[in-house]
Structure formats: structure tokens, C-alpha cells
Amino acid sequence: MKKFRIVLTDYMYETLQPFYDVYDKEPDVEFVPMQLTSKKDIMRETEFADAVMVHFQQLDSDIIGNLKNCKIIARSAVGVDNIDLEAASRAKIPVANVPDYCIEEVSNHAILLLLACAKRLNILERTVKEGKWDYSVTKPVHAIRGRTLGLLGAGNIACCVAKKAQAFGMKVIASDPGLRQEQLEGRGITLVSQNEMLAQSDFVSIHAPLNRHTQRLVNADFLSRMKRGAILINTARGGLVDESALYDAIKNGQLGGAGLDVLTQESISLDDPLLTLENVILTPHAAWYTEEAMYTLLTSAAAEVIRGLHGQTPKHQVNRF
């Protein structure tokens, strides 16, 4: 019996066992994990694949146009900015992601960064380790109860952030051109224009996808419209933020600080100017991670591949044709 060939182009997982937990139950599939580093190699190995899984490598129009048998492309992540969706649609190949695997984790991390920035936790920790026992090194610090959290995007993660922020007594507003107020019924989130959200918010948390329309959406103009002294939180995608403009806005006092889990270039260079700012807290793209989330991510991506191979519509198809 001829088996479906599933090619994984690249990965940085400690174990592939969650993939095998799904594929070993399917007698008609052959899973081929690889570490392909060049476009030429990717084109060669995926040309006759029945399914392609990708982690960080770019699948551009040349690679997708070269696919002869592919029934589905799956990325074990939320973002699909490394896949040419238009090329996949032209080729009538569904592209699937896993948008629902780390909602609790990322929303927790957004709140973690918000609280840490509000309390200037990094300064408190550093000065204690330097032998200084003095709360006043962070003055002035203000209560978050009664303050306003603005959400840029109001999808699943943002709504989870809102619920947790409300537990701290925060007011939550959001800007999302793709939603109507009735779609947020019962969530305690008020939809407003982007300008209103920026002007009113003491904290702005980013929850938007990265695409050609949102690249560097958070630019100098965006930051200038934020409430003076506000804090920016980003657990979405680094490419949404113009980091040079962010540095300038914090340096000149327009912003009170930032909590960033993602950057345009990862990892961070040791001479990155953001590292010189005491009121910036950085974490290494860690928001998504727990062991449970990792397992769900990989098994869900594999399950999407199986659906595609068997002619079923993926649960989370991101392109249309």
C-alpha cells in the first residue's frame, strides 16, 4: 500500500513524540522529519510530498508552485507569515495553523508583563540583589485598579486577557475593525476606534496578526497617539512594532515603558538599544510555552494534516480558494 508522505521541513522541538502519537495511529502515512536549511533542499524534498509541515522556514511562491501532490500545508504555530498564502490559494492547497493551543498561556504572560511593568518589578529585583532594600527606587508607582487597558485586536487571547485584567479592577476597551460590539456581548469589553483606544488607555496590549497590512502598525504615529506615560505590551509578533520608534517614544517620555515577549529579530543583539532602558521588560518569546501547550500544539498540527490527507476540511484553515 502506498503511503502518504508527510515532510516536516524544520523544527526546534526537543522531541517529536507528539507528532508520532498521532501519525503512528495512521497506517497509511509516512512521517519524514527533516532539517532543511536551503530553498533548494526544501523544493527537492517537498516536491512530491503529500503534506508539508513547517516551523520557521519560509514557504514562498516558488516552493509552493513546485508542489506536485500536496494536499495540505500545516504550521505548528499561530502565525503563518512565513507561508505565501496567496500562492497556496492559487495552487488550491489549504493552509492550516493552530490558533487555539496557548490562549491561557499567552494571556497569562500578557498580564504578567503588565503587572511587572506597572510595579517596575525588574528594578525591585535588581536593586535587592545589589543589596538595596528600598521600595522607593521605583517611585512613582500607581495602582492598576480603575485604570484602562486597551486591546489592539479582540480575538480569543485578547478576550482572555480582558477577563483577567477585569479581575484586577481594570476597565477594558478594544480596537478591532473586524468585530462588532454584539460579538463581544458579556465580555465587558467596549469597542472603540483605534484613536479613542490609544488616547484613553493606560496600558495597550497587542493581539493582532502579522501580515502585510499590519507590518510595523505600531509606528511613530501610533505611539504619538497613545496616552502620555502609557505602557505597551506585546505578546503577539515582533514585526508589528517599529522598535526604533518605540525606543524613541520611551526615551523621550511619551511612553512609560514596555513589556515585550517578541521582537522583529529573535534573538536579541546585545547592543540593542532596548536593553539600555530600565522601563522595558523583555522575555524571549516565552509566552506560549508550557509543556501542556507544546503537546497540544504538535498533536493539533498533526491532526490537521490527517484531515487534509483524507480530504476533510481542516479545522483551522487560514486561506480560501
Alpha carbon dihedral 64, 89, 157, 106, in 10-degree steps, equals: 0
285 annotated active-site: yes
The catalytic position among 75, 120, 207, 237 is 237
55 annotated active-site: no
CA angle 252, 253, 256 (to 5 degrees): 140
Strand partners, 317: 96
Name the residue among 152, 175, 149 with its Cα closest to residue 163: 149
Pick left, alpha or beta for residue 108 (phi over 0 → left; psi -120 to 50 → alpha; otherwise beta): alpha
Among the residues of the chain, which ranges form H helices? 17-23, 39-46, 61-65, 85-90, 103-119, 121-129, 156-167, 194-200, 220-224, 243-251, 291-309
268 CB-contact burial (10 Å; exposed 0-12 / middle 13-18 / buried 19+): middle
The catalytic position among 213, 266, 291, 320 is 266
Residues labelled catalytic: 237, 266, 285
